[in-house]
Structure 1
Amino acid sequence: MNHLDGTAVPISPAQLLADAKHPLHTPAGLVGDTPVLWIGEPFTVPGRGFWAKLEGHNPGGIKDRTALHMVRASRERGQLMPGARIVESTSGTLGLGLALAGATYGHPVTVVTDPGMEPLMTGLLRAYGAEIDLVDTPHPTGGWQEARRRRVEELLSVHPDSWCPDQYNNPDNVAAYAPLAHELVAQLGRIDTLVVSVGTGGHSAGIASVLRGYFPRLRVVGVDTTGSTIFGQPAGERLMRGLGSSIYPRNVAYGLFDEVHWVAAPEAVWAARRLARHHYATGGWSVGAVALVARRLARTLPGEDRIVAVFPDGPQRYVGTVFDDAYCRAHGLLDYLPADEPDEIGHPGERTVTRWTRCTHVADPLTAPATTTATAPQALAGAAR
């Protein structure tokens, strides 16, 4: 028997549960199986678009995956003892993941951060039980990021039974993203181009390395921020958080990338806000930067090319920055229309970039020959996150 509107009544109650998520016993079960959404016009040109993996549907974002995996793996190896404190440096998203892992496995969590962390993120971390340790002075040659790392070392010496995941250099950070890659294969079947932001190097290396096993000709496009040292640019002022670095994370798999794009803050804001208005699915700095690059690839690559962009989080933590007119106006981020095409450089050391720029020569800056751009200590002093 059918309802009057034509909707069929399930034959048995089991049919009602066929597509439902199973009841959960721990909050860790909330992580993963995130949706994929088509992003087309008006963000892209008519008839073209890309698929966005919406990691903002995890409780805290994409780094929930790595926080849980790093904690679980260290417990299994006996490196993290039951009830021991977890201490880590973060600009925010990993802190939420560690708070989730702490609640799941019974560990207190201390997050070392700096004054640039958004008040909303600070409030969320405290609400979830994390302690916040705030550094107040940037390191003279490593900026806030190095100052946070050194504070972590101090706390570890004070609490010798505590443990630091060391997200920048921990291979478990990379391994954590294999399930995300498998989800993409199951959801889309074929992937030709992957667009990923790069910060610690974890999710870019973890996803790309697995997908290359399925699709050997996969094109991998890395997205960094201006002022970041990861791909060989000199360190500089960085307003954007969540991507980029003023140190050299060893988890970055340089050999996987076919090209890298550096995106500036006004360009990321434009893309994030346009996504919000026209597609509802959006996020912060990383999402805006990744979407801008994916938008260009959707226009320039062959129409049959299947492009996937990983959106690391959602918009919630950015209501006071990316989506706040007063904040954006104060930082000169409003009323900016990105160029249709990025600038091009032949080598990361060719010159210092200040706007959206593309380079197809990707190499580890610690092993590549010296380049012409100077990494002066005074430039590093202002480097952010």
Structure 2
Amino acid sequence: MTSVLPIHPFPVHATTQRGPRRDDRPSSMVGNTPVLRITAPFATDERGFWAKLEGFNPGGMKDRPALHMVERARARGALRPGARIIESSSGTLGLGLALAGMAYRHPVTVVTDPGLEPILVRMLTAYGARVDQVTEPHPDGGWQQARRDRVDQLLAEDPTAWHPDQYSNPDCVAAYRGLALELRAQVGDVDVLVCSVGTGGHSAGVARVLREFNPAMKLIGVDAIGSRIFGQPVQPRLMRGLGSSIYPANVDYTAFDEVHWVAPAEAVWACRALAATHYATGGWSVGAVALVAGWAAQAHVREATVAAIFPDGPQRYFDTIYNDDYCHEHGLLAAEQPIEPVTIDDPGRVTVQSWTRCDAVAAPGRRV
């Protein structure tokens, strides 16, 4: 009989460690991430914003929902001891599930696509996960739907396996309560929150909790050019980690006050500017969110507390965002800093190609 180490589930509620940090297990390293004040060149010193640096978690922001979804599924009996976890991921949730599988003694299969960075494939394998890669995109739902179809096939082959379904699992939303409480403890009541939107989990979960303290808080969503989530037509996307070619059920459309779309070259500029000026940076989502949060800090009153969630760090993007050859190949090295977005009234009437905002946010179609 295989021995199981005692597990100390990750607390959804925020905790505070005093003095030098010491962790006795990998899962306890999740949470209590720092915030950093971001100013020039994104905003003036008087109108900067606070960035929650989720890249300080072992695998990034999605360590939080991975551990929480597994914990809750085990508590309900939906995930049996030793059963396999099978999920679709563009990378970050895969790392979180590898951590959760290690902590709770479950084998993990991560279904990915050819866009997954080679370093992520190697790291997932090193952490004990099985990587299953689809080879053809779905004709309508793209790589995301192709991955979901493959998950369904694997689940049919293993009736004991469990699928977290991060796109529609309410535990994915609830997992971010701890992040929200940490952020409020660090910066006080938040007046404007800027979040990237992919599965919809962290924007819904963090905003819901922060509005318990400040019901008037404004939520700005950040999407990728070519994403379907907020009513744009699907296009091929270089940017991973935000945007979607499906309608994730966890996206809380009613929570958003406005949405911005950001293009890859604009996100690359922001990522590199963050690195050069703040010694803190990350991937596509981080760049896009920083660009929009800097604009929001300038657009709102000086006294407003503007906060943004940076989901990860730069490590997995060394061959893309931070690789000059890759960026030149894809035309991503913009010569000038993006200053402000174009404003549109209806995302269903115009296909955006560069940084654009809209304050009419509605569910554009059937959710999955």
Aligned partner letter, 2:174: A
Aligned residue number for residue 97 of structure 1: 96
Aligned residue number for residue 219 of structure 1: 218
3-state DSSP class of the match of 1:346?
coil
Aligned residue number for residue 54 of structure 1: 53
Aligned partner letter, 1:118: E
3-state DSSP class of the match of 1:239?
coil
The RMSD of aligned alpha carbons is: 1.3
TM-score norm. by structure 2 comes to 0.93
Q: Is the 8 A contact 1:43 1:278 kept in 2?
A: no
Aligned residue number for residue 379 of structure 1: none
- 2:311 is the counterpart of 1:312: yes
| 1:40 shift after superposition | 1.2
- 2:64 is the counterpart of 1:65: yes
Q: Is the 8 A contact 1:95 1:111 kept in 2?
A: yes
Aligned residue number for residue 291 of structure 2: 292
Seen in structure 2, the aligned counterparts of structure 1 residues 42 and 358 have a Cα distance that, compared at 3 Å, is closer
Aligned partner letter, 1:136: T
| 1:339 shift after superposition | 3.3
Structure 2, unmatched stretches of 5+, are 1-16
Aligned residue number for residue 244 of structure 2: 245
Aligned partner letter, 1:209: R
CA distance in 1, matches of 2:39, 2:178: 26
Aligned partner letter, 1:335: A
| 1:338 shift after superposition | 4.2
Structure 1 range deviating more: 185-194 or 352-361: 185-194
CA distance in 2, matches of 1:46, 1:103: 43
- 2:364 is the counterpart of 1:342: no
Aligned pairs for 1:35-50 (under 5 A) are 35-50=34-49
Aligned pairs for 1:39-188 (under 5 A) are 39-188=38-187
Aligned residue number for residue 11 of structure 2: none
CA distance in 2, matches of 1:339, 1:141: 32
CA distance in 1, matches of 2:276, 2:47: 19
- 2:19 is the counterpart of 1:19: yes
Seen in structure 2, the aligned counterparts of structure 1 residues 332 and 18 have a Cα distance that, compared at 3 Å, is closer
Aligned residue number for residue 3 of structure 2: none
3-state DSSP class of the match of 1:47?
helix
CA distance in 2, matches of 1:135, 1:315: 25
3-state DSSP class of the match of 2:193?
strand
Q: How many residues are treated as equivalent by the alignment?
A: 351
| 1:22 shift after superposition | 4.2
Aligned partner letter, 1:33: N
| 1:367 shift after superposition | 6.3
Aligned residue number for residue 192 of structure 1: 191
TM-score norm. by structure 1 comes to 0.89
Q: Deviations over 1:300-331 (max 9, x none)?
A: 21111110010000001111111110111111
Q: Is the 8 A contact 1:202 1:252 kept in 2?
A: yes
| 1:41 shift after superposition | 2.1
CA distance in 2, matches of 1:240, 1:218: 28
Q: Is the 8 A contact 2:197 2:222 kept in 1?
A: yes
| 1:250 shift after superposition | 0.4
Q: Is the 8 A contact 1:267 1:337 kept in 2?
A: no
Aligned residue number for residue 323 of structure 1: 322
The structure with more radius of gyration: 1
CA distance in 2, matches of 1:316, 1:90: 17
